[in-house]
Chain A
Amino acid sequence: MYEAIFSKYAPTKDNLIYILHEIQDQHPQQYISEEAISAVSEYLSITHAHIYGVLTFYSMFSTKPRGKNIIRLCESPPCFLKGSEAILHSLRDILQIKVGETTPDGLFTLELTACLGVCGNAPVMMINEDVYGDLTEAKVTKIIADIKGRI
């Protein structure tokens, strides 16, 4: 099932991070399974241990199943100074989950992230590849409702 991804990359170790990115992005639960590690290990002829080591070194990779939409709220000082803590409270209230958890319907995972580089619009969060800025409680409620509405 990973053949389509592998066919895009030569079986060399420098493609490891790329392949892992793509496997994770294509998985509905946005994570890298044991089975995927085995497949990559075979394709690149490198050990499970090496892959697992790389996988757990980088914060964007997950070895546990996650939600369809990954919410990453910035916790860096520029956002903190502009009230990211209150936004975190709102997100927890709306989603009824803690940081690192996934909603029971599998729609959202709540994570914290270091600076997203959009500090002029702090507080900021990223949902998958979209960035949302100048967050307020009302805005967050609407963004989550809109995503739910789309699904």
Chain B
Amino acid sequence: MNLEKLREIREVSLQDQQQVLSEGNIKITICMSTSGIAAGAREVKKTLLREIAERDIKQVVVAQTGEKGLQTFEPVIIVEEKDKPRVMYGNVTPEIMTTIIVEHILNGQPVKRFLWTGEDADKIEGQEHPFFEKQVKLVLSNCGEIDPESIDEYIGAGGYQALGKALSSMTPDEVIEEITNAGLRGRGGAGFSTGLKWSFTRKATGDTKYIICNADEGDPGAFMDRSVLEGDPHAVLEGMLIAGYAIGAREGIVYTRAEYPLAIHRLEIAIKQAQKFGLLGENIFESGFSFTIEIRQGAGAFVCGEETALIASIEGERGMPRIRPPFPAQSGLWGKPTNINNVETFANVRHIIIHGAEWYRNMGTPKSPGTKVFALAGKIKNSGLIEVPMGMPLRDVIFTVGGGMKTDKPFKAVQMGGPSGGCIPASLLDTIVDYDSINQTGAIMGSGGMVVMDSSTCMVDVAKFFLNFTQNESCGKCTFCRIGTNRMLEILTRITEGKGKMEDLDILMELSKKIKTTSLCGLGQTAPNPVLTTLKYFREEYIAHIQDKRCPAGVCKALITFKIDAEKCVGCTACARKCPVNCISGEVKKPHVINQDACIKCGSCYDTCKFNAITKS
């Protein structure tokens, strides 16, 4: 491979794409991500292919991409024709697919009722929708646009240009300088300067050095890395190659969760293609630089996202963190200098090399330049994957891009940073998203998960969930992390059962402080954050549980009772039939009664009743 060949491949790829969209042709794209497939994209694709064959439709090209970020609206289908706006359909079922074939493909009339926007003609493409309008896509620029299983399409979209530029016209030190000047900070959560990290590993002595891509995404509510690996795997490989050149490594490893089979599959395809094109292997771009990349899978241990635990896992050990220093930059995998960055960090690299540090710094805030990918989940309307410039207020992220609340209940908090993070209340919605501002709230930026909660969420219960999670995932090495989190969980459990005491709150604070200061790795050091932030912003909820034996959100089972209002109950028997423990009795067309002793408080009667006859108190 050389620059000239890369240019030729790009031209051919662009011509091919033009050909697909030449006069009279129709391109139908299906977003085939895990999210799309989970929502039924495979069945939709089957229907599409069957309809095309049965109706003998010519000049239709079927393509696939990763996800466009609209998880709530999966399966997503995009119909493209020359000189016409793209039409994007959401929540497509096999039946809807057939309708689209008949009305749109055969009769030329876009089917407005199935557009993802749910609106009409003027927003037909959906790009001017606030969901897309406020986003700046850098890391996600190819996701949902190109076929992730085609290296030609990646090259057509400008792929491997940055690698070509770095290898043919920049020294390793110049590469590091550019990344440092750009101010890129580690997107895995800690926000450490990527350029600085690279320079440490470059300066470390030793002939053998390693590049590791941390794709062990484990925060509940985070799915940025999965989407990038599924939608644009070559971008990650390109970033790793550039990093390898910069620090002087010949080997790269992607460490990924075993829970992401599709991401692993696409990554394997990408590595094989890059090898075939001479973009991995010996003498890349005739520069003398050689590099290989292999994939290593985890086996379900959250702590392996911590870099020293990750290294232990690759070496075939229990994934337990090691004492730092020495840092991996000095002594990492097999005791060799090792540089570890996460998926999103690597995906940023090529843009900085192509456009330069100054261009990159034009986005975001002075201390946190660039963009950030966020995974929106929970009670939010446009749940999915977004990328916005750093510095955007949380309010805009949640209410403009995210479309606001999914239910008619008001916003209560957003949980950021997973089990290491915290809950940010409504009063702090004007906080901007950058590393330092989010840290000030007591939460952390983390890898980018945002779980939005409405008034039906109990904050003590949320804190309990995360403590349960960290307590389970603690590797057990540090005493306070192993036992302290357990004690905190016991206290939280007690509080949610109405057996808490006011002194418990002080003990929680004290344990938090000790766990934070006596744990070796980030897992323990941040484990108390969900408790600390909820105690800070939602203390009155803890007090209601302890003093009034009341769960204000109506979540904690020990503190709620379901009753049937005899005046409203029409005796339809729906609740009695639904009750999993058969504790509702009564005659047809007569008011029913719940046997409180047998009730497990699952709430299915409450959800089933169409007459609002069941009250929760």
Is B299 a contact of A61 with CB atoms below 8 Å? yes
Please judge, given known A-B contacts A57-B318, A77-B465, A131-B34, whether A121 and B301 are in contact too, CB under 8 Å.
Answer: no
Q: In the docked arrangement, what's the CA distance between A88 and B313, Å?
A: 32
Is B318 a contact of A76 with CB atoms below 8 Å? no
Selected from A54, A59, A89, the residue in CB contact (under 8 A) with B316 is A54
Is B300 a contact of A121 with CB atoms below 8 Å? no
Q: Is A145 an interface residue (CB 8 A)?
A: no
Q: Can you name 16 A-B pairs with beta carbons within 8 Å?
A: A13-B315, A14-B314, A14-B315, A16-B316, A21-B297, A58-B301, A60-B258, A76-B221, A89-B580, A114-B220, A117-B259, A119-B378, A120-B70, A120-B384, A122-B377, A132-B38
Is A53 a contact of B318 with CB atoms below 8 Å? yes
**A121 — which chain B residues lie within 8 A by C-beta?**
35, 38-39, 71-72, 74
B120-162, CB < 8 A from A:
none
Q: Is B602 an interface residue (CB 8 A)?
A: yes
How many residue pairs at the A-B interface have CB separations less than 8 Å? 143
Q: In the docked arrangement, what's the CA distance between A134 and B317, Å?
A: 37
B508-525, CB < 8 A from A:
none
Q: Is A133 an interface residue (CB 8 A)?
A: yes
Q: In the docked arrangement, what's the CA distance between A86 and B375, Å?
A: 24
**A5 — which chain B residues lie within 8 A by C-beta?**
none
Number of chain A residues whose Cβ lies closer than 8 Å to a Cβ of chain B = 44
Q: Is B198 an interface residue (CB 8 A)?
A: no
Number of chain B residues whose Cβ lies closer than 8 Å to a Cβ of chain A = 58
Is B260 a contact of A13 with CB atoms below 8 Å? no
Q: Is A20 an interface residue (CB 8 A)?
A: yes
Is A60 a contact of B300 with CB atoms below 8 Å? yes
| Chain B residues with a Cβ under 8 A of chain A | 34-35, 37-39, 70-72, 74, 217-223, 225-226, 258-261, 296-302, 313-319, 375-379, 383-385, 415, 451, 453, 457, 462, 465-466, 469, 473, 475, 580, 602, 604, 607
Selected from A81, A115, A117, the residue in CB contact (under 8 A) with B457 is A81
Q: In the docked arrangement, what's the CA distance between A131 and B74, Å?
A: 13
**B602 — which chain A residues lie within 8 A by C-beta?**
85-86, 89
Is B580 a contact of A120 with CB atoms below 8 Å? no
Q: Which 4 A-B pairs have the closest CB atoms?
A: A120-B71, A133-B38, A76-B220, A58-B299
Is B315 a contact of A78 with CB atoms below 8 Å? no
Q: Which of B34, B219, B259, B383 has the most chain A CB atoms closer than 10 A to its own CB?
A: B259
Q: In the docked arrangement, what's the CA distance between A115 and B580, Å?
A: 26
